[in-house]
Chain A
Amino acid sequence: GQPLGVLDGIPIAVKDNFNTAGIETTCASNMLKGYISPYNATVVQKLLDQGAVLLGKTNLDEFAMGSGSTDGVFGPVRNPWSYSRQYKEKSLPKSPSEDEESNWVITGGSSGGSAAAVSSFTCFAALGSDTGGSTRNPAAHCGVVGLKPTYGLISRHGLIPLVNSMDVPGILTRCVDDAAVVLGSLAGHDPKDSTTIQDKFKPFELPNLTDVSKLSIGIPKEYHAPGLSSEVLALWSKAADLFKDAGAKVIEVSLPHTHYSIVCYHVLCTAEVASNMARFDGLEYGHRSDMNKSTESMYAATRREGFNDVVRGRILSGNYFLLKQNYENYFIKAQKVRRLIANDFVKVFESGVDILLTPTTLSDAVPYVEFIKEDNRTRSAQDDILTQAANMAGLPAINVPTALSERGLPVGLQFIGRSFQEKQLLTVAKWFEKRVKFPAIQLEEVERHDHGVLQHQKSASFS
């Protein structure tokens, strides 16, 4: 017979905040535990139409709120690299009683399950979502490619929303070419999502870029953020040099409003969350509390029982910012600041810069026991800082795994491109990927079954 499409037979995984017909869709929340969705999200449908095989729904932070994939109802996601030879070799057990069980590291979030699935060879591609970095962050920590497309390029219909004006479906794969293939299957106007652009999308194959002399790479100085580890800083610098030595123009640029983006994001995100979460009232679907003294008490109990603290905290904050007396000072102000942040990028791209190069995360993945010492809000504020502005501006951005850290864990770097210029973005990312030769994860279980397929990837890495 004929193949259904370019993805026919390819195993994929989908983050559990995408609706999948006949399959439980929980958003890792008690609110939707047991909820069987009656329809497929547009992106899921597109993958299935191509013949992709859905292996499963992946774990996440509850309702995609978080940067560690630790706050979901099903528990935290473990980074497969915790079990890699590379990590185990580098980590010294602190005491004989301590074993790798307490040493495992987080995947980052909120699409941690999807990143782990791709990273551990359980599937070839996975869907994540990206609102403040939720695809790129775990991609960096798990050593996989994480693409955030331009807002409006891929349909959000069926993606249970977090922030309608910033959410995009994210693509996680093991190499940039794969990301381009998946993008080709997903992009394009959807009448069911009014925020998708009308223009026809033409899927593309990535050229093998050899000459980068016409390329201008921008290094935004504000991305040298407080808390940036010296390791990551060094890798960033080396990457810049790589481009320079190959003949590209590498210049320092400024995005002056960068440091406002986190607070701006908090106001806008929580405001939208307050609105988006209103649909969960226990009436039509999802969890309904047994409390039935009155409608109001049923709503209250349902929402208290269904949502975790993170979600409830954001709803409360959002409602506060949207009060009449606060609307002007918080919401409107944040929208104005958002415009300034977006304009920063416009100015830089107008000045001739093609692509921006930044770190994706402040450091490599931390152990879970370390991560949970701070609360979700604090962690999100810290971890989103390098990825968040691209969501504000709606720009495409991609994490490319670059090298292993001192601790044997992946570190990735981020490229940010112009609106709807995914082809250029991915072309440059592919050029970079080829040169850094990021090593394959060495998992005992996988190696036992490997018949030399992965051998060639053990060559010298970019550190």
Chain B
Amino acid sequence: AGYQITQQRVPIAVNGSLSYSLCIDNKMSQMVTKTVRIKQIQLEQDSGKSLHDDTRSQTLVDLNRAGVGLMEVVMEPDMCCGEEAAAAVRELQLILQTLGSSQAVMAEGQLRVDANVSVHHPGDPYGVRTEVKNINSIRFLAKAVDYEIQRQIEELENGGTILNETRAFDSKLGCTVPMRDKEGKQDYRFMPEPNLPPLILYDAKSLPANMNHQQVVNVDWIHERLPDLPSVKRARLVERYGILPEHSFTLLNEDGLTEFFENVVKQTQMKPKKVIGWILQDMLSYLKQHSLTVKESPVSSSRLADLLNLLEKKEISSSAAKQVLAELWKGEGKTPLEIVKEKKLELIQDQKELERICQAVIDGQGNEVLAIKAGNHKVLNKLIGLVQRETKGRSNPVLVKQLLEKKLSE
């Protein structure tokens, strides 16, 4: 029972496409671009919700979201697995967030995804599809799709058939179950809404002269005012900073991370290509470990920049820098320089001191020296490591290597 307005006959847009990227392997080192066709986008009003309270045998009606504008994006079955579905939806989510159309947080119901899944042998027509609902995150979307694909394959291989039904994803059990079918095939008895005049979309060419531009929708006008979409932003990051495409994906995927990265780059002499490693490996993993967002990071971009400057100026080694970062992460308010002084992490600048230590190591590692002199240069690393240990990480490995090589060739 009830009332809803939807674009049933003439959707606002048809025949679109969405490009998204996938990693070929798990290492984020190779990305491919894929496309999924968008059949149509239609506008509608959200309806109210019924909450069934079986204990008290009552139904509660929640009208809080009734009437809120919805946009339904219908994709063609161009995706082949959970990963692709997740990547496509993730990209869509980013685009919507960039445009300001929606915050698209699935857990809050701002973005709702129903997956239609079918299987078939290559060359055969598409199989019967099931619709999977109740998916509350992108991760669950991938799981639900993959589960359903497996389920259908197993069913068919066992001689069964697939029903054209609606199933719900159970996130606890990680499987799909048939949904309680209350409605059956409903005849909605739709009629054109007389209170809404026809929506006509114009572009610069078709716009009639003398029309008050506030009264019409001019697609070109809107197009000119679009903010940079994620794909543009990513390309720009790659071009500007010389980072890899997959880096740009990670930057955009994490809310606030791009800004953080750019702020660090501004405040440090270290090249962006090097900074990115600190951002994506060190910072990001700390954030994930502590379930923090970029905004909640105890290490600010200027703090990190200070640290990286110390590293760049060769005042500390990179392993020392990592130690400092760990200390910074405690959020006690100390500056990198203070921590370095406190923990005596400065690189030994005294050349003579370093030479003495190198010599001591060489003197103590007779077999290794022989091996190196015989041509096995990999063993040099062991010596470098020993020097590092002696100096408690306070020696510059490049310089140490030079000194050792010089000594060994004497």
Q: Mark B49-84, 1 if CB is under 8 A from A, else 0.
A: 010000000110101000000000000000000000
The interface of chain B, by Cβ under 8 A from chain A, is 1-3, 50, 58-59, 61, 63, 187, 189-191, 193-197, 212, 215
A299 touches B195 (CB 8 A): no
CB distance from B56 to the nearest CB of A (A): 11
A295 touches B191 (CB 8 A): no
Query: What are the residues of chain B within 8 A of A283 when measuring CB–CB?
Result: 61, 63
Kindly state whether residue A50 has any CB partner on chain B within 8 Å: no
Q: How far is the CA of A327 from the CA of B187 in the complex (A)?
A: 11
Q: How far is the CA of A275 from the CA of B1 in the complex (A)?
A: 11
A299 touches B1 (CB 8 A): yes
A195 touches B3 (CB 8 A): no
Query: What are the residues of chain A within 8 A of B215 when measuring CB–CB?
Result: 198
B194 touches A278 (CB 8 A): no
Using C-beta atoms within 8 Å of the partner chain, give the interface range for chain A: 20 to 34
Given A195-B197, A279-B3, A323 contacting B191 (CB threshold 8 A): no
Query: What are the residues of chain B within 8 A of A164 when measuring CB–CB?
Result: 193-195
Kindly state whether residue A398 has any CB partner on chain B within 8 Å: no
Q: How far is the CA of A292 from the CA of B61 in the complex (A)?
A: 13
B191 touches A281 (CB 8 A): no
B59 touches A295 (CB 8 A): yes
Given A198-B215, A295-B59, A165 contacting B194 (CB threshold 8 A): yes
Can you name 6 A-B residue pairings with CB atoms under 8 Å? A164-B194, A195-B194, A284-B63, A292-B58, A295-B61, A299-B1
Q: Determine the residue in chain B with the shortest Cβ distance to A320.
A: B189
Q: Determine the residue in chain A with the shortest Cβ distance to B197.
A: A194
CB distance from B210 to the nearest CB of A (A): 13
Q: How far is the CA of A272 from the CA of B195 in the complex (A)?
A: 11
B1 touches A322 (CB 8 A): no
Kindly state whether residue A245 has any CB partner on chain B within 8 Å: no
- The contact of A323 among B50, B187, B195, by CB within 8 Å, is B187
B61 touches A322 (CB 8 A): no
A274 touches B1 (CB 8 A): no
Query: What are the residues of chain B within 8 A of A324 when measuring CB–CB?
Result: 187, 189
Query: What are the residues of chain A within 8 A of B197 when measuring CB–CB?
Result: 194-195
When A and B form their complex, which 4 residue pairs have the shortest distance between CB atoms, in order from nearest?
A165-B194, A322-B189, A164-B194, A278-B3
Given A195-B194, A319-B189, A278 contacting B2 (CB threshold 8 A): yes
Kindly state whether residue A223 has any CB partner on chain B within 8 Å: no
B3 touches A194 (CB 8 A): no
Q: Mark A302-325, 1 if CB is under 8 A from B, else 0.
A: 000000000000000001001110
A194 touches B195 (CB 8 A): yes
Q: Mark A281-307, 1 if CB is under 8 A from B, else 0.
A: 101100000001011100100000000
Kindly state whether residue A331 has any CB partner on chain B within 8 Å: yes
Q: How far is the CA of A39 from the CA of B373 in the complex (A)?
A: 96
Query: What are the residues of chain A within 8 A of B193 when measuring CB–CB?
Result: 164
CB distance from B170 to the nearest CB of A (A): 26
Known contacts A195-B197, A278-B1, A295-B50; 6 additional CB pairs below 8 A are A165-B194, A195-B195, A278-B2, A281-B1, A281-B2, A295-B61
CB distance from A329 to the nearest CB of B (A): 14
Q: How far is the CA of A284 from the CA of B64 in the complex (A)?
A: 12
Q: Determine the residue in chain A with the shortest Cβ distance to B195.
A: A164
Q: Mark A359-396, 1 if CB is under 8 A from B, else 0.
A: 00000000000000000000000000000000000000
A194 touches B1 (CB 8 A): no
Q: How far is the CA of A163 from the CA of B195 in the complex (A)?
A: 10
B191 touches A296 (CB 8 A): no
Q: How far is the CA of A317 from the CA of B212 in the complex (A)?
A: 42
Query: What are the residues of chain A within 8 A of B191 when measuring CB–CB?
Result: 271-272, 275, 322, 327, 331
Q: How far is the CA of A283 from the CA of B64 in the complex (A)?
A: 13
Query: What are the residues of chain B within 8 A of A284 when measuring CB–CB?
Result: 63
Q: How far is the CA of A263 from the CA of B59 in the complex (A)?
A: 41
Q: How far is the CA of A279 from the CA of B48 in the complex (A)?
A: 12
Q: Determine the residue in chain A with the shortest Cβ distance to B48.
A: A283
CB distance from A312 to the nearest CB of B (A): 15
Q: Determine the residue in chain A with the shortest Cβ distance to B190.
A: A322
CB distance from A305 to the nearest CB of B (A): 16
Q: Which residues between 119 and 165 of chain A lie within 8 Å of chain B, taking CB atoms?
A: 163-165
Q: How far is the CA of A351 from the CA of B259 in the complex (A)?
A: 69
CB distance from B32 to the nearest CB of A (A): 44
Query: What are the residues of chain B within 8 A of A278 when measuring CB–CB?
Result: 1-3
CB distance from A267 to the nearest CB of B (A): 11
